[in-house]
Amino acid sequence: MQTRFKVHLALLAVSLLYAATFTIAKMAMPIYIKPFAFILMRVSVATICIYLFHRHFVKGAIQDKKDLWPLFVSAVFGVAGNMLLFFKGLSITSPINASVLMLNTPIFVLVFATIILKEKLSIHKILGIFIAAIGALLLIGGRNFSFNQDSVLGDLFVTLNAIIYAFYLVYAKKLMVRYHPLTVTLYAFFFGFFLVLPFGFNQVLEIDFIHLPASIWGAIAFVTIGATFLTYVLNAYALKHASSSLVGSYIYLQPVLATLIAIISGKDFLSLDKFLSMLIVFSGVFLASFKKTEKS
C-alpha cells in the first residue's frame, strides 16, 4: 500500500511539472532559444544530474552487453526522438493544441502494452482512459483549440511525439524490471545526448546567454531540471512498480493541473463546467488505476 501511494504521488508530481512546461517552455521558444538548442541543454543538464544522483544513491550497472541495444532504442524513442519532435512542434503550434494532442499518448500506451507486454485489457482500464480523455477534452479542447495551416506541421510533430513516447513507456518497462529504473534512465540519457548533439549544437552557439532575461534563465532551469531530470526519474520509479497504462493515464491530469495553476495565479477562474470536467478526469484516472489493472 505504501509503494502504491508513492507511485501515485510520483505520477502526480510528473503531471504537475509537465502541465507547467507547455507555457514555461513557450516563454523561451523560439524568440530566445531555438527548440533543438533547448533539447540539447535539456538532455545535457539532465544527464549530469542523473549521473550524480545515480553515482551516490544507486551505483548500478548494466550486466549484459546485449541490453545496450535496447537501451539505445530507449534513448531514440524516450529521449531524442520524443523531445526533438515535441519541442519543435511546440515552437510552431500553441500550448493548447500541444496539450490536447498529447492526450493521444495513453491510447497508444494501451495499444503497445497489450501487444508488447501482453498486459490484460480490462474493462476498468479501457473505461478509465476513455472517461479521462472525455474530461480532458472538455476542459481544454473547446474554443481555443483549432487546426490551421500555420500550426499543422507543429501539430503533426506533437502527435508523432505522443506515439513514440507511448512506445518508450512500454518498451522501457522490461528493462526497468531487470535493472534499477535510474540505471536504465542514465544509459538512455547518455545515448540520447549523442543523438541530439548534431541537432542542437549550432543552435546553442546562437544563444546570447549574456543578455538572457532572468525569467528565461528561470524557464531554462525549470525545463532542464524540473521537467526533465525530475520527471524522468519519477516516471522511471513509477514504471518499476506499476503498469505502463497507469503511467500513461496520468497524462490526462496535465490539463487539469494546468487549469488549477492558471486559477491560482489569477489568470483564469473556476467555472462550473471546468469543475465538472476536472471531476470527470479524476474519475477516469481513478478507474484506470483500479487495483486489478496494476498488474504488469
Which pLDDT does position 144 carry in this prediction? 54
Cα separation, 121 vs 133, in Å, equals: 17
Which pLDDT does position 77 carry in this prediction? 94
Going by C-alpha positions, the residue among 24, 12, 13 that lies closest to residue 215 is 24
Does the global pTM surpass 0.85? no
Domain boundaries, the chain: 2-293
SS3 letters across the chain: CHHHHHHHHHHHHHHHHHHHHHHHHHHHCCCCCCHHHHHHHHHHHHHHHHHHHHHHHCCCCCCCHHHHHHHHHHHHHHHHHHHHHHHHHHHCCCHHHHHHHHHHHHHHHHHHHHHHHCCCCCHHHHHHHHHHHHHHHHHHCCCCCCCCCCCHHHHHHHHHHHHHHHHHHHHHHHHHHHCCHHHHHHHHHHHHHHHHHHHHHHHHHCCCHHHCCHHHHHHHHHHHHHHHHHHHHHHHHHHHHCCHHHHHHHHHHHHHHHHHHHHHCCCCCCCHHHHHHHHHHHHHHHHHCCHHHCCC
Cα separation, 106 vs 104, in Å, equals: 6
From first to last of its 296 residues, what are the pLDDT tens digits of the chain? Answer: 588 888 889 999 998 898 888 778 878 887 899 989 999 999 999 999 999 989 888 877 888 889 999 999 999 999 999 989 988 887 887 766 677 777 778 778 888 888 888 777 678 777 877 787 777 667 655 545 555 666 778 888 888 998 898 899 889 888 888 888 889 999 999 999 999 999 999 999 999 999 999 999 999 999 999 999 999 889 888 888 887 777 877 877 777 777 677 677 665 566 777 677 767 877 777 776 665 444 43
Going by C-alpha positions, the residue among 235, 186, 179 that lies closest to residue 66 is 179
